[in-house]
């Protein structure tokens, strides 16, 4: 569905460009995540139509024939600091052919702002919830809808947030059903899974005669 993705962190600019160009050549599209500014510029020099997705550090390019994006994915988050992860997830969904509705600036401390989005949440086939600090938003969202929720803890916060450990544990212990969790700050992973699930809602029931 999506070709191999380039995780830029831990690579030199040269390695990232080499890997990225090879994949783009082969697949007609490319997603790079966790790129430093230096790597981003090296990639842009090599691939002029590469697109950034600020404030995330993801970059993507798609040279394949256009296709109507499929609706059904919602990404919700609580604060400005989580937007980098939101956009990494959204870029991933977009490259996989899915349109994302963003519901940002909703947090459990202002529960009425979450509730005001209930209808939008209930229409989703799958919801990605990005949250740092107390990581409580996925429980609330999952309690409001019947769609599967992919929770992404972020490393925002300080002190006893322990670089994302606190929201990670919160989400693994979510009181509401339907919540599964990906790695801290892993917007790509959450977007990928959301796209997989949404794809199924669009693909219709399995053909019993297939095999």
Complex with a copy of itself: residue 49 or 147, whichever CB lies closer: 147
* Spatial strand order in the sheet of 59-62: 6-7, 29-33, 59-62, 51-52
Shortest distance (Å) from residue 71 CB to a copy of itself: 7
Number of residues that bind a copy of itself (CB under 8 A): 90
Site for a copy of itself in 189-208 (CB under 8 A): 189-190, 192-193, 196-197, 200-206
Shortest distance (Å) from residue 6 CB to a copy of itself: 9
Helix and strand numbers (H, E) in the chain are 8, 9
Shortest distance (Å) from residue 180 CB to a copy of itself: 4
Burial of 176 (0-12, 13-18, 19+ CB in 10 A): middle
Backbone angles phi, psi at 129, to 5 degrees: -120, 120
Site for a copy of itself in 85-104 (CB under 8 A): none
Query: Which secondary structure element, helix H or strand E, spans residue 77, and what is its range?
Result: strand 70-77
DSSP letters, 105-155, are S--GGGHHHHHTTHHHHHT-SEEEEEE-TT--HHHHHHHH-SS-EEEEE-S
When binding is defined by CB under 8 A, the residue of 10, 48, 65, 66 that contacts a copy of itself is 10
User: Pairing relation of β-strands 126-131 and 70-77?
Assistant: parallel
Binding mask 47-86 for a copy of itself (x = CB under 8 A): --------x---------------xx-----x-xx-----
Complex with a copy of itself: residue 2 or 29, whichever CB lies closer: 2
Shortest distance (Å) from residue 131 CB to a copy of itself: 9
- The residue range among 22-30, 40-48, 56-64, 185-193 that interacts with a copy of itself, by the rule CB under 8 A, is 185-193
Site for a copy of itself in 111-170 (CB under 8 A): 111, 114-115, 119, 123, 125-126, 133-136, 139-140, 142-144, 146-148, 150, 153, 155-170
Alpha-carbon span 11 to 22, nearest angstrom: 15
């Amino acid at each position: 569905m999506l070709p191999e993705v380039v995780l830029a962190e831990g690579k030199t600019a040269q390695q990232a460009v080499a890997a990225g160009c090879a994949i783009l050549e082969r697949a007609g599209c490319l997603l790079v995540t966790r790129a430093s500014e230096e790597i981003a510029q090296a990639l842009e020099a090599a691939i002029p139509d590469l697109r950034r997705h600020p404030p995330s550090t993801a970059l993507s390019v798609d040279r394949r024939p256009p296709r109507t994006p499929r609706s059904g994915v919602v990404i919700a988050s609580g604060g400005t600091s989580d937007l980098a992860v939101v956009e990494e997830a959204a870029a991933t969904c977009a490259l996989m052919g899915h349109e994302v509705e963003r519901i940002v600036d909703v947090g459990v401390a202002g529960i009425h702002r979450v509730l005001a989005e209930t209808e939008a949440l209930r229409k989703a086939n799958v919801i990605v919830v990005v949250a740092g600090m107390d990581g409580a938003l996925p429980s609330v969202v999952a309690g409001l809808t019947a769609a599967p929720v992919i929770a992404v803890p972020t490393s925002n916060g300080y002190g006893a947030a322990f670089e994302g450990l606190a929201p990670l544990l919160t989400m693994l212990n979510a009181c509401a059903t339907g919540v599964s969790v990906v790695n801290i700050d892993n917007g790509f992973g959450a977007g990928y899974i959301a796209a997989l699930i949404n794809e199924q809602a669009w693909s219709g029931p399995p053909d019993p005669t297939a095999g």
